[in-house]
Amino acid sequence: MRVLWKAVYKINVGSGMHDTNLNPSVFAVDLVNPYRTYVHDYPEVLFPYPQAAALQARLALRFGAAGTGQGRLHVELGAGSGNFLVEMALRHPQDHFVGFELRYKRLVRSAQKLEREDRSNVWLLKAMGESFHQYCPPQSVDHLYLQFPDPWPRASQWKKRMVSGAFLERLAQVLRPGGVFHLKTDHSGYFLHVLALLNGRQDWRLRAWSNHLHRDVLTQDGRSTDLLAVQVKTEFERLFISQHKPVYYLALEKPL
Ligand SMILES: C[S@@+](CC[C@H](N)C(=O)[O-])C[C@H]1O[C@@H](n2cnc3c(N)ncnc32)[C@H](O)[C@@H]1O
């Protein structure tokens, strides 16, 4: 299918020919971004326009609500090109992973990696990360990762940041007791924004944090951490490390 679309794309772009059998509006869009078509090539792992209710039912069946499922459920928001999810899926074949991402090309790249590595324990959703609570059954998630979210640095943009008071409420809804939210960012302002949201709240436990991940991580009991998110690096994380930029990290636990 992908090969066919590539060929059609080449013929049309290259020669100016037009195939009248194709829906012109769809075709016009696909000429601009052929990955809009490729996202349909991986029906087992990539869900391009998921219906929240239907997927929640499938998730509940597969993972089990409130502790009845086998294996842990990990969710990543803004999964990019999938490096973290694929590496995690390889390290933890008994666990289940769901990645939210908006960009077609990155979703397709992720699906290709899954195919190469023969992984079926990852689902990719083309859906807004903010809507994770509509897909994940209550108290089903063991780990939720947000890694290098768009920082929206200007004060006028702060309302667009993924983490907000409402986000924390939705997080509390889907995490199991003892479940952990992991944030990594290269943006000190974003890190401070999240710490400010947590200030004075008794309903979360700050389990670990760092203002220079990969150099030192502090935990509440002062010991080094074995948290999974610290061990596996994302694509952007590797880039920042290569540029000697600090990575800020926090792990927030929903108390038992
Ligand atoms: C800076 S990149 C980081 C990608 C990856 N987490 C990493 O660390 O390599 C941010 C990613 O979040 C995605 N993104 C931005 N807003 C989003 C949203 N509201 N829902 C889902 N994904 C989003 C972008 O398309 C992009 O791939």
Instruction: Evaluate whether residue 146 is within a structural domain.
Output: yes
Give the count of domains, the chain.
Answer: 2
Residues with pLDDT less than 50, the chain: 1, 3-27, 65-67
Question: Do 47 and 127 belong together in one domain?
Answer: yes
Question: Do 26 and 124 belong together in one domain?
Answer: no
Is the pTM for the entire model greater than 0.75? Answer: yes
Q: Is the CB of 106 under 6 A from ligand 1?
A: yes
The predicted structure's pLDDT at residue 12? 40
Residue with tokens 């920082």: 151
The predicted structure's pLDDT at residue 60? 72
The predicted structure's pLDDT at residue 225? 59
Instruction: Evaluate whether residue 155 is within a structural domain.
Output: yes
Question: Do 28 and 62 belong together in one domain?
Answer: no
Q: Please say whether the beta carbons of 45 and 120 come within 8 A.
A: yes
- Which domain, by its residues, includes 170? 42-253
Question: Do 125 and 220 belong together in one domain?
Answer: yes
The residue nearest atom 16 of ligand 1, judged by CA position, is 78
The predicted structure's pLDDT at residue 229? 73
Instruction: Evaluate whether residue 37 is within a structural domain.
Output: no
Query: What's the burial of 181, exposed, middle or buried (CB within 10 Å: 0-12/13-18/19+)?
Result: buried
Question: Do 178 and 91 belong together in one domain?
Answer: yes
Q: Please say whether the beta carbons of 176 and 67 come within 8 A.
A: yes
The predicted structure's pLDDT at residue 53? 81
The predicted structure's pLDDT at residue 231? 83
Q: Is the CB of 191 under 6 A from ligand 1?
A: no
Summarised one tens digit per residue, pLDDT across range 65-82 is 444 557 889 999 999 999
Query: Bridge-partner residues for 206, per DSSP?
Result: 252
Nearest to 69 by CA among 17, 166, 12, 139: 139
176/139 Cα distance (integer angstroms): 4
Question: Do 49 and 173 belong together in one domain?
Answer: yes
Question: Do 27 and 47 belong together in one domain?
Answer: no
Summarised one tens digit per residue, pLDDT across range 181-215 is 999 999 999 999 999 999 988 899 998 888 888 87
